[in-house]
Amino acid sequence: MQVNWGDAPLRWQDVVTVARGGAQLTLTVAAWQRIENARQIVDNIVAAGQIAYGINTGLGALCNITLSDDELSQLSRNTLMSHACGVGPLLSDEQARAIICAAIANYSHGKSGISATVVRALLVLLNHQITPHIPSQGSVGYLTHMAHVGLALTGIGNVSYRGQVVSAAEALAAEGLSICPLGAKEGLSLVNGTPCMTGLSCLALDDASRLLDWADITGAMSFEALRGQIVAFDAEILALKASAGIQRVGQRLRQLLSGSQIIASSEGGRTQDALSLRSMPQIHGACRDQFTHAAQQIVTELNAATDNPLVLGTPDNWRVVSQANPHGESVAMAADVLAMALAEIGSVAERRLDRLINPLVSGLPAFLVAQPGVNSGMMIAQYVAAALCGENRQLAQPAVLDNFVTSGLQEDHLSLGTSSALKLLKLVENLYQILAIEYLLAAQALDFHGADQAGQGTQQAWQLLRAQVASWQEDRWLAPEIAQSAALLKDPRSLQAINVQSES
């Protein structure tokens, strides 16, 4: 599998295909030409002795210190060494790869002035599965994460390679590759911009898109098991709110429940259901709308030149502009808003699964086990979901509102976008577990009704789970079964087994 960038707008799905799917990444001829053009501009600036920030000056608060030509390579190396000071647990390999993908996307615009040699070296890291070890903490939006990547190009630091942890120098040598030389501005270009928050956010979009689909499925199963009144999902009613998300969720719920004898036999059984049931189109739909907005912001950033300074024009007629494109406010806000939306998806799922185990509202055996008392059934699974929802409320607090002063007052407003993306990824993992619990409980509840009476889509979802996890008759070790349920949700192939057709 191969992904070729450079002639068309990039998609977040392309980043996922490379970072998670292991696809080879290449750049088009036009992209290489842009990179070479910008590098020639940098070389001309150095040759002419023109003073330009980051090319032949110090960085940040040291921007008024000019450097001689023979110091420029050392500046690039020193920039990586001083900036590679991240702390905390390492990012996963796929997270590191996503960041490198976004960095290459940034350079492919030909506005950074980084050399083709360095970009090729980054492609080697991706395509030869040499993944730098990147500490997860320490970024206010940029700088530290990519500094660790840049150091790997020079043979410093550890990497994951062929299933082992080895030094970067050892991995490069094993592939017959040499240490990458660095010239003027290249250290700065390697640490600058928004690839950290953007690459990580692309992974979060992949998870979020899958979780939004699963929330509709597990929600439909709970709705059916609780004998919901499907009139709440009436297309004419939902059309009175002009939300694309609401319309999509309503359509999916109607399709998932199509042909359900459980729903048909319950029609008119109550005037209205609890909000956690009847407002699924409104809640899930609003969250889908926020996903659409967040994806637009993240893709805009993925297709942006986010270095500072940026080089414009041609080698004969150029400009170097110091500006603020590395400020990641839009991605930080997008990740924070998406975190709030996904926290809401988990919150309403927890309310549904709580109703499933409560015989006062479910009409089912207490805690979904045939002999309650001697068996606790699904009682404590709801506790786990509640705990995860509580943690998600903390993770949904916006990071973008935090602010600090760095670099001697030079950088006195920060996006904290990498923090936004990292906490979003933690929240996503919690949501997988919450929906996995709802999936287990809803399937168990449908067993009491007779799953063969379920709807078109909900019955398929029930069958998918039952191929992995048997129905409960008495208490058994539940943790591995939650893990099996979560694994189904994470597997992209699982959704294909649930054939929900679009309405005409």
Question: Which residue type is seen at 238?
Answer: L
Q: Which sign does the torsion angle of CA 122, 127, 129, 135 carry?
A: positive
Whether residues 176 and 218 share a domain: the answer is no
Is 304 within a domain?
Answer: no
Cα separation of 453 and 438, whole Å? 19
pLDDT of residue 63: 67
Whether residues 460 and 420 share a domain: the answer is yes
Is 359 within a domain?
Answer: yes
Is 503 within a domain?
Answer: no
pLDDT tens by residue, 213-250: 999 999 999 999 999 999 999 999 999 999 999 999 99
Whether residues 135 and 9 share a domain: the answer is yes
Domain count, the chain: 2
Compute the mean pLDDT over every residue in the chain, rounded to the nearest whole number: 93
Question: 193, 307 in Cβ contact below 8 A?
Answer: yes
3-state secondary structure 15-61: HHHHHCCCCEEEECHHHHHHHHHHHHHHHHHHHHCCCCCCCCECCHH
Whether residues 219 and 260 share a domain: the answer is yes
User: What's the whole-number mean pLDDT along residues 373-396?
Assistant: 93
Rounded to two decimals, the pTM is 0.95
Whether residues 251 and 188 share a domain: the answer is no
Question: 440, 494 in Cβ contact below 8 A?
Answer: no
pLDDT of residue 503: 41
Residue finishing a domain among 168, 192, 216:
192
pLDDT tens by residue, 434-472: 999 999 999 999 999 999 999 999 999 999 999 999 998
Cα separation of 63 and 392, whole Å? 41
Is 328 within a domain?
Answer: no
Tokens of 272: 């209205």
* Residue 444, domain CATH: 1.20.200.10
Whether residues 281 and 388 share a domain: the answer is yes
Residue finishing a domain among 159, 192, 225:
192
Is 327 within a domain?
Answer: no
Is 324 within a domain?
Answer: no
pLDDT of residue 408: 64
Helix %, strand %, coil % of the chain (to 5): 60, 10, 35
Cα separation of 99 and 128, whole Å? 16
Whether residues 217 and 183 share a domain: the answer is no
The percent of residues above 90 in pLDDT, for the chain, comes to 79
Whether residues 37 and 147 share a domain: the answer is yes
| Domain around 115 | 2-192
pLDDT tens by residue, 280-302: 999 999 999 999 999 999 999 99
Is 364 within a domain?
Answer: yes
Whether residues 206 and 133 share a domain: the answer is no
The percent of residues above 70 in pLDDT, for the chain, comes to 96
Residue finishing a domain among 192, 220, 243:
192
Whether residues 82 and 150 share a domain: the answer is yes
Is 23 within a domain?
Answer: yes
pLDDT tens by residue, 64-105: 777 777 788 888 999 999 999 999 999 999 999 999 999 999
Whether residues 172 and 82 share a domain: the answer is yes
Task: Indicate the burial class of 84 (C-beta count within 10 angstroms; 0-12, 13-18, 19 or more).
Answer: buried
Cα separation of 500 and 482, whole Å? 24
Identify the band that residue 502 occupies on the pLDDT scale cut at 50, 70 and 90: very low
* Cβ neighbours for 400, distance < 8 A, ≥ 6 positions apart: 329, 332, 333, 336, 415, 416, 417, 420
* Residue 98, domain CATH: 1.10.275.10
Identify the band that residue 125 occupies on the pLDDT scale cut at 50, 70 and 90: very high
pLDDT at residue 59 is higher than 80? no
Question: Which residue type is seen at 376?
Answer: S
Whether residues 178 and 111 share a domain: the answer is yes
Q: Hunting for tokens 């950074």 — which residue is that?
A: 112
Question: 27, 18 in Cβ contact below 8 A?
Answer: no
